[in-house]
Chain A
Amino acid sequence: MSKLEEIANGVLAGNRRSIARAITITENTPEEAQKLIALIYPHTGKAHIIGLTGPGGAGKSTLTEKIVREYRRVGKTVGVIAVDPTSPFTGGAFLGDRIRMQELSTDEGVFIRSMATRNNPGGIAKATKDAVKILDAAGKDVIIVETVGAGQSEVEIIKVAQTIIVVHAPGLGDDIQAIKAGMMEIADIFVVNKADRENAEKTVMDIQAVLQLDTREKTWIPPIIKTVAVTGEGIPQLIEKIEEHRVFLQKGLLHKRSLEKAEAELIEAIKEQVTGSIIGKLKRERRFEKVLQQIVDREIDPASAAERLLNQELEKNSQNDEA
């Protein structure tokens, strides 16, 4: 058995060490990751994937801990991926989400992994999608992805999660304006956390006001749930809504979303493999630098150069096929 097969088998058996190693592979070695995911992919698609996003300090990690507890109470196993930002200057990262979840660390039904963005834009890491697949294949019933403290453009989570919870809280500086643009559209459920604080009601009203501006035809109206994550208040109501949404998805939308997700992933994979193989080849053949110089010298514009190179490669390939 190869090392990768061994790890894949370990993942499928729910072995914690194998799961941990597998996630490291998705972060560090993309070629191996591709092979590993190929081995486990048939066993994915069973977990319910929940995304938690919202501004920094809103209480995402604290909420995650309480949500996990609630699912554990009813006997479900849970995986958590908690994403924090990488410093663009040093490449390092301080992964602190776990601090709020440490009491869960010795529960064998829970697997928590911290992940740095490694400068991937969009609020999650490049490896997050694959890490979710690994936890899914390992048999976790529910997987929660906590994004980095996000503003309006960090909406990559939509490509990973099935139920998206946008968490807000009173007193986080200027309010809903900040999350209005992207966040409002992706939310399946709104949480106004820190409901123990005054002004929580105002935050609820702000969200309602923005929601009313949204006139798109909708079959699911995102509910607004008030929580106090530190005490657990409101968590049962939140879980109820998550489960409602899960059932709602299963009645039809899930298939459509799965297709959309598959499309996004396939396009991304094609882009990566095309650029990877073609650019590698052009560089080996020393044609890449030549074209760069031509672009600098204004002999050709970048898009036309790309088209020409791509056509040349495609032609060569079809000639090879015929030969």
Chain B
Amino acid sequence: MQGERKIRVLIAKPGLDSHDRGAKVVARALRDAGMEVIYTGLRQTPEQIVETALQEDVDVIGLSILSGAHMALFPRIMELLKEKGLTDVMVFAGGIIPEEDVPELKRIGIKEVFGPGTPTENIIKYVLENAPKRS
């Protein structure tokens, strides 16, 4: 009987914009790197994202946002994760996120932010190196 540990990743799109190319590119890249990727589709509320992460028992949450609403939505997501006890999940993000917002996002627990033009290899490498090793 062989069991296998797979990195499970939730790629989520918070907010109301429908820019989903980046999310899909990242989802596909992580899948091709051997991970199990759950995609939520567009327009997710923080509550939906956190509840999905809980049910799917993911190791990593990737937030993709190009609407500019990250400073409103990300803190709420981090707060809910804490509330539900999902503190061992790694959260990172990408899309259109101005440089000056990054320090505050890192302060609230977003581990890394990747902007336009990031080669997907960098994103894969980052997940492989930083995904939490859970039992």
Contacts and interface: CB of A to CB of B under 8 A. Distances in A.
Interface of A: 16-17, 19-21, 23-24, 27-31, 33, 86-87, 90-96, 98-100, 102, 105-106, 111-114, 116, 118, 272, 276
B57 interface: yes
A102 B41 contact: yes
**Chain B facing A: main interface SS:** mixed
A27 B8 CA distance: 12
B25 to A, nearest CB: 12
Contacts of A87: 31-32
A90 B34 contact: yes
Given A17-B84, A111-B55, A28 B39 contact: no
Nearest to A92: B31
A21 B55 CA distance: 9
A99 B23 CA distance: 13
B55 A92 contact: no
B1 A272 contact: yes
A98 to B, nearest CB: 6
Interface residues of B, number: 33
A23 to B, nearest CB: 7
A102 B4 contact: no
24 contacts: A17-B84, A20-B56, A24-B8, A27-B3, A28-B4, A28-B5, A29-B3, A30-B1, A33-B3, A87-B31, A92-B30, A92-B31, A92-B34, A93-B36, A94-B37, A94-B39, A98-B52, A98-B56, A99-B41, A100-B41, A105-B48, A106-B45, A106-B47, A276-B1
